[in-house]
Amino acid sequence: MKVCLLHPEHDYDSEPLPWNEQALVHDLGLDVVLAVMAQRDKFLFAASKEIILSSLATDVDTILYRQRVLQDCLKHSSVVRELYSLAVRGVERENKGYWSFFSKYPTGVLNRSLELIQMLLDVLRKLRILAEKQTDGFNSEGFRNLFAMLKRELTDEYLDDIRAHLQELRFLNGVLISAELGEGNKGANYVLRKSPSKKTRFLWFFGGGRDQSFQFRLHPRDQRGAKALGELNERGIDQVANVLGQSADYILAFFKRLRTQLGFYLGCMNLHQALAKKKEPVCLPVPVNANERRHSFTELYDIGLALSIRSQVVGNDLGAEHKDMVIITGANQGGKSTFLRSIGLAQLMMQAGMFVGATSFSANLCSTLCTHYRREEDETMNSGKFDEELQRMDEIVDHLSPNSLVLFNESFAATNEREGSEIARQIVSALAERRIKMFFVSHQYTFTSGFHGRKWNNVTFLRAERRADGSRTYKLVQAEPLRTSYGEDLYNRIFEHKLVPERPELELVTSPTGDQSS
């Protein structure tokens, strides 16, 4: 049984997190978003994190497929939560089932599997009943196929037939095993036969139900005989126990896949509810193929910041068609780093099939997303900040491929401007030749003005807006870079209330005696 809520043709398999998982979570503030999605549920946190970070290679059709499933989830939130509750209940049956101390033996495997399947059948029946009630309300291909599969494969007749087989496999009437004599008169080719039918009193009375085979009874103290008989029993049921164990694991795996995939959408529902409560806009993005170049949006904002403060955040607009690089300059604390986080978060969420924080958003897919942000000084003093920046850049380059997206935040600023600008120019030029898409926040005028002076068609420039009085609007507008970042604004804002007030002037008064006093 397949769930197929994340992919139209195959189930989602757990994938390793990307090599730069920690950097992405830290630089993009992803932990805040995941915490709201999880609502203190550790499993929801882990499932949402894995699916968001491992979905970068998703194609456009799969993203649109997930968006339609997500729309159904938002429309029928109570039903989806009930489905998730049943999936969790199915997984929890594994812990409540019979776990024999001798589970490595066929008898232990058999008993564990019987108890587990018996409990899972009840949950499967409830899933089928829920699917029958809700089919007409869902429009996405993912949910309609899931409900159709549950109704088709989990009929009452089928489930009752399974129960009958489980009852028979308890061997209440004993175990019938056939075998042959092998080399050295040892048993070989053990085969479990259908259990003998229960004999009625009528057959016993007229002798029709009496066994025609030879019999023997073990003495109660015959330990070796009991051990030998037990080994024969284990050999006879070994194959059946393995098959039944695989069946139990198969059903349990279905519930685990259902819980993981529904858990991701449940996290999206929690996030959507939190943003709606704050009256922040969201939209379903329009993805385009990776080899195109598009980044167009209106009112794009940093979701992590919106969830962390009480007031509403400021969104930004951009229309960047056929651009390989966006260079961002402007006043300090003008919203440049926040804007960069919003770009990275929106890219991750779009490629996971989620909504994004904007009124409209469209971008091309990227094969890899990397961040190169400024870091604090190395506490171990094994290397300087500039050395550390270059080492991280070297590691990033090793993982890049055409159509990757790299976010630079004040990179290569740990050395003097001339040297840092030249290194940044060479790296950016080389990446542009390999069709790497970049957003670059920089205060280095030599670097930014150098690209602006060349009038490249595939580069656009944004600047953090500043009012005449020095206040920030946190809006980014398309404008050429300036020489200054208006650091004096920050100085005046921080220190103006700390300056020592001027002392009043002293007035000299001459007394009649000629002495001066104040």
CATH classification at residue 433: 3.40.50.300
Residue 31 domain-assigned (yes or no)? no
Same domain, 255 and 327: no
Rounded distance, CA 467 to CA 319, Å?
A: 23
Domain count, the chain: 2
- In this structure, the strands spanning 509-510 and 516-517 are antiparallel
Same domain, 251 and 375: no
Where the chain has pLDDT below 70, the residues are: 96-104, 172-174, 192, 195-216, 222, 225-238, 377-383, 484-518
Q: Which helix (H) or strand (E) holds 308?
A: none
Which three-class secondary structure string do you get for 319-334?
EEECCCEEEEEECCCC
Residue 45 domain-assigned (yes or no)? no
Q: Give which of 43, 94, 30, 32 is closest to 261, Cα–Cα.
A: 43
* 379 Cβ contact partners less than 8 Å away, ≥ 6 residues apart: none
pLDDT in tens, 1-42: 899 999 998 888 878 899 999 999 999 999 999 999 999 999
Residue 156 domain-assigned (yes or no)? yes
Longest Cα pair distance anywhere in the chain, in angstroms? 152
Answer for the pair 240, 166: CB distance below 8 angstroms, yes or no. Answer: no
- Phi, psi (deg, nearest 5) at residue 210: -80, 140
Same domain, 334 and 454: yes
pLDDT in tens, 377-434: 655 545 578 889 999 999 999 999 999 999 999 999 888 889 999 999 999 999 999 9
Rounded distance, CA 78 to CA 50, Å?
A: 24
- In this structure, the strands spanning 286-288 and 360-364 are parallel
Same domain, 359 and 300: yes
Same domain, 267 and 292: no
Same domain, 269 and 298: no
268-277: b (≥16 Cβ within 10 Å) or e: bbbbbebbee
- In this structure, the strands spanning 369-373 and 472-478 are unpaired
Same domain, 241 and 379: no
Same domain, 313 and 381: yes
Same domain, 146 and 237: yes
Rounded distance, CA 359 to CA 317, Å?
A: 10
List of long-range contacts for 47-52, beta carbons under 8 Å, 24+ apart: 47/260, 47/263, 47/264, 47/267, 48/263, 48/264, 48/267, 49/17, 49/25, 50/14, 50/15, 50/17, 51/6, 51/12, 51/260, 51/264, 51/352, 52/348, 52/349, 52/352, 52/354
For the chain, give me the number of helices (H) and strands (E)? Answer: 16, 14
> 444: helix, coil or strand?
coil
Same domain, 116 and 248: yes
Residue 360 domain-assigned (yes or no)? yes
Same domain, 244 and 312: no
Structure tokens at 460: 């656009």
Residue 221 domain-assigned (yes or no)? no
Same domain, 253 and 293: no
Residue 214 domain-assigned (yes or no)? no
Residue 123 domain-assigned (yes or no)? yes
| pLDDT score, position 118 | 85
| pLDDT score, position 169 | 74
| pLDDT score, position 98 | 47
Rounded distance, CA 178 to CA 167, Å?
A: 21
Answer for the pair 465, 476: CB distance below 8 angstroms, yes or no. Answer: yes
Residue 62 domain-assigned (yes or no)? yes
| pLDDT score, position 202 | 47
| pLDDT score, position 516 | 42
> Which domain, by its residues, includes 234?
1-16+54-175+226-273
Rounded distance, CA 334 to CA 479, Å?
A: 14
pTM score, whole prediction: 0.84
- Phi, psi (deg, nearest 5) at residue 480: -75, 155
* 163 Cβ contact partners less than 8 Å away, ≥ 6 residues apart: 118, 121
Angstrom CA distances, 100 to 108, 137, 247, 367, stand at 5, 44, 18, 47
Q: Which helix (H) or strand (E) holds 119?
A: helix 106-134
- In this structure, the strands spanning 316-321 and 325-330 are unpaired
